[in-house]
Amino acid sequence: MEQFEGTILAGASFEPIDGRVVVDDGRIEAVERVDTDSTAIILPAFVNAHTHIGDSVAKEAAVGLSLDEAVAPPDSRKHRRLAAASREELVEAMGRTMGFMEQTGTAAFLDFRESGLEGARALRAAEDGRDVDAFIFGSDDPAVLEVADGFGASGANDADFSAERAAVREAGAPFAIHAGEPDATDIHPAIDLEPELLVHMVHAEQPHLDRVDEQSIPIAVCPRANSVLGVGRPPIGELLDHTTVALGTDNVMLNEPSMFREMAYTAKEFDVSSRAVLRMATTAGAEIAGLDCGVIEPGRRAALLVLDGESDNLVGTADPVEAVVRRATALDVDRVVL
């Protein structure tokens, strides 16, 4: 049994309470209000709701390129780099990226894995021995569900995914698809597929939002990556008014998978509260993937991030939620419990 004392961002509201989290056999046994001298800040470990860590072998390869030149299948620079990498190189690079996520407090990530069944197997190999969990949206053929947790489609303008959608539904697995990244033309066709997750929705308009609301489709947004590629800004406030919205970091070739940086960027660039941003980075992604983490409450998996409240950066902060979202960095991490 372990105990972690400090200011706890507890429950779905992230209410700051002085106390301790009691952990037994990997589960949260209790969250107790007690007097404590600890200045630690304890929050749920992050869930990164959208990644492509396969392109860990192509860091910075997209600099100066358009969206299509950088990542569009099948002939983008990303896909050429993936094709040129050996399996050993790919597994090693993905494993190192997962190591960075562990160090910076990510408990799980939802990854769109290219290269079909072999691509999914490579990510499972990279996951072996790691504490961070990969929720894999596989590609190419529904047979990928032999290894993957769901199916991830590139976009409704890239191909007709109706057969894949039907097979994935028959298998009882989630179907996710990119939509509204370069423009709005693929959003309605993507929603027609009744996915369990939409990714990006940069160019979502009211008719799209109404359909998302009606079908209760959650959305993963990646604002830093959208900025790097110059495709626009997702209407995060409007999306939050209609559905669950989670935060992702997208391609490793574009950005490091730091949820600290993604939160700070989102809080500063969009009219969204810090509490909403923290929920996007923790609870929302866990809910989308059906993971038992993302909230500090009894009975949950003990996936925790402990920050040093006396670090040179965080000492003297008045609001722990604002401090976590807008100010904290990897240098403030005292311990990650996964």
DSSP secondary structure string for all residues of 148-169: -SEEEES-TTT---HHHHHHHH
Tokens standing for 8?
């706890």
Q: Is the pLDDT of residue 78 over 80?
A: no
Res 48: pLDDT: 98
CA distance 329 to 333: 7
pLDDT at 119: 96
- Taking all residues of the chain, what is their mean pLDDT, rounded to a whole number? 96
Evaluated on CA atoms 83, 221, 45, 289, the torsion sign reads: negative
| Strands annotated E in the chain | 2-10, 15-24, 27-33, 41-44, 46-52, 106-112, 133-138, 150-153, 175-179, 197-200, 219-221, 245-247, 250-251, 304-307, 333-337
Predicted confidence at residue 84, as pLDDT, reads 82
Using 50, 70 and 90 to split pLDDT, how confident is the model at 202?
Answer: very high
**pTM of the predicted model as reported, rounded to 2 decimal places:** 0.95
The 10 Å CB-count burial string (b at 16+, else e) for 60-93 is ebbeeeebeebbbeeebbbbebbeebeeeebbbb
Give the CA dihedral 16, 20, 24, 26, nearest 10 degrees.
40
Any idea how long the chain is?
Answer: 338
3-state secondary structure of 299: coil
Q: Catalogue all structural domains in the chain, each as residue range(s) with its CATH number.
A: 2-45+294-337 (2.30.40.10), 46-289 (3.20.20.140)
Tokens of 263: 């939160």
pLDDT surpassing 80 at residue 61: no
The amino acid that residue 233 corresponds to is: R
